Structure formats: structure tokens, C-alpha cells
Amino acid sequence: MKASLPISPMFRATVLALLLVGLVACGGRSGANDATAAQDGNAHADDGDDEPGHDDHDDHDAGQTTIPAAQAHAAGIVSAAAGPGTIADEHEVQGLLAPIDGRTAQVTARFPGPIRALRADVGDAVRAGQPLAAIDSNLSLTTYTIAAPISGVVLSRQAQVGGVAGEGQLLFEIGDLSRLWVDLHIFGSDTQHITAGVPVTITRMTDGASQATTLERVLPGTATASQSTVARATIGNDDGLWRPGAAVRARIVVASTPAEVVVPLAALQDMEGREVVFVREGDTYRARPVTLGARDATQVAVTQGLRAGEQVVVEQSYTVKADIGKAGAGHEH
């Protein structure tokens, strides 16, 4: 066995010093690498913020959507140019149809006697001079004929075949219903500024058919039962579907105010608490906040946010709103 050489204290100190120098050098390089990596990471992060079409794309697409023309047509989306119009000061009222005085006639028996024949019934159209009844006269012992005094419709019949008619007894009532009165009931302060000569639109409740006419007069008295003022207009009844006694709706236009830009009420939608319209540019639809002015039953004036000539969605605007909502939800994901 060989004897180990003795190691001097100076040699140990020299080796230990070299080891410490090596460790410090390695640690410095590691720290430098870590710092470099951190800087590279920050650089990449900055590059990500500047990436084209990221946040800017989301901001650009907010409140808009693209709908191809064929798809818009299939969905019933209709656009029209915004432009000048007139806002009407309108009043909605109700009324009743009535025969016009002087256009009704009562048919009576001239002489007493048995009724031999009746040739018309309620609802029949008759012409002036048409025979309506035959009665045996107790005075002359002959049969005489009762004829229609006017052309019109039989409104009522008060006789039966075989019955005995008294002198002057009412047999028929005939009305010319080709034109009718519309008696409209006006209440409260409306009576102060609704006057003769203003336009009025009468709407039939049974099928929604409408007819434009003019208010002819405001009657001086007050309807006892309703305590209303009666305003009267006249309408044509060529189709015979306007029936006396039927209730109707009416829209009376008291005044009209011009506006530079108007849109239909159907164009308006609410988005995030703001009233908007959807402006179309090609296949792109954008929500445009607007400031509104006076409105009537069908349209509203736009005082800010929209120019005359811009294309606005006037039908199916809620479909565009729903599509924008779906587009916004997609960007959030």
C-alpha cells in the first residue's frame, strides 16, 4: 500500500477559491439569461397589444352586423331613405254610424184593410216605385199597392201577410245607405280645438278598412248619456259594409308640423337604454343613436344623429337588432 502525500493548507485554500469563482460566474450567467427572457416576454406581450385587428376590431364591430342582400330580403328587412315629412297633431276618438236625415222614408198604409201580399223584407235593396205590399181597402173594397218612395235598403218591416193594416200604420222603413253620418264623441279639452274642416280618417272595426273624409260640423249640444260633444262627418258606403249603428274608430288631425328628417316608428329600437335606428351601407347595418322630436301615430321626427337621404331599416328592424346582439356575443367569446 502506497502512503498518501500530505496536502498543504495553502493548496486547499487555492482550490476552494477557484470553486467559488466558478459558482459566481455560473450564477451571473443564469441571472442574465433570466433577465433576457423576461425582456423577451415583455417584448412579445407588447407585440400582442399591437397585433392588427384585435381590440380595434372589436371596437369597430360593436353595434353593427353584415347581412347579405338575399338574406335580408328573405327576412323581410326593408330599408328606405330618411327624409322630410309632416308630424300630425292627432286625436283618437270613437263614434257611431247613422243614416243621414232626409235619406230615410217610412212606408205606411193609406187605407185600412187586410194585407194580401208583402214583396220585400229587411235587408232587401229596393228602387223608387217598386211595389212593396198589396192591401185590400175596407173603404173601396178594392186592392191597392204600396210602392217604395225612395231607392235604398229595407231597414224594418212592421207587417205580416194576413194581418190587418190600420190607416197610416207603419209598414216599412227604407234608408238610402249609400252615404252615412259618422257621429264622433269628443271629450274634455279636445272640444276646444277640434273644429269643422279638419281631416279625419274613419276605420271600420270589423276588418280595419279605412276611409278619409273631412269633419263637417261640431254639433252645438252635448250628448246626454256620454256628456260628450258630437262632431259629425260623412262617408261613402259603396260596398254596403258600413252599417248604421256600428261603432268605428277615428283619427282627427288638428294640425300638422313639418320636419326635416322623419322615420317610421317601426324603425326605432332600444339598445342599452338608447333609442337607435339601423343605417344600411351596402350589406352592413350599423346602430345609430338618435335624438327624437315630435311624433304621431306612425312616424317621428329625428332632430340629431341622422341625415336626410341615409338608408334606414323601416321594416323588421328588430331582426337587425337581434343579429347585432348575436354578433356581439360571438366577439365576447
Is 252 found in the same domain as 165? no
If you average pLDDT over residues 253-274, what whole number do you get?
93
Residues 94 and 226 in one domain: yes
Domain with 186, as residue range(s), is 90-99+178-256
Lowest mean pLDDT among 73-77, 78-82, 166-170, 218-222: 218-222
pLDDT band (50, 70, 90) for residue 46: very low
> Is 52 within the bounds of a domain?
no
Q: Give residue 62's pLDDT.
A: 59
pLDDT over 80 (residue 250): yes
> Chain-wide mean pLDDT for the chain?
83
- Is pTM beyond 0.85 here? no
Is pLDDT above 80 for 223? no
- Note the pLDDT of residue 135: 97
Q: Which of 239, 256, 273 is the last residue of a domain?
A: 256
Which of these three, 256, 274, 293, is where a domain ends? Answer: 256
- pLDDT above 90 for 72: yes
- Position 308 pLDDT exceeds 60: yes
Residue 23 confidence (pLDDT) above 50: no
Instruction: Specify the CATH number for the domain of residue 149.
Output: 2.40.50.100
Q: What is the pLDDT of residue 225?
A: 77
Q: Confidence class of residue 191 from pLDDT cuts 50, 70 and 90?
A: confident
Q: What is the per-residue pLDDT for 13?
A: 47
Is the same domain home to 182 and 251? Answer: yes
Contact 175, 244 (CB under 8 A): yes
* pLDDT 10s digits, 131-164: 999 999 999 999 999 999 999 999 999 999 999 9
User: What's the domain count of the chain?
Assistant: 3
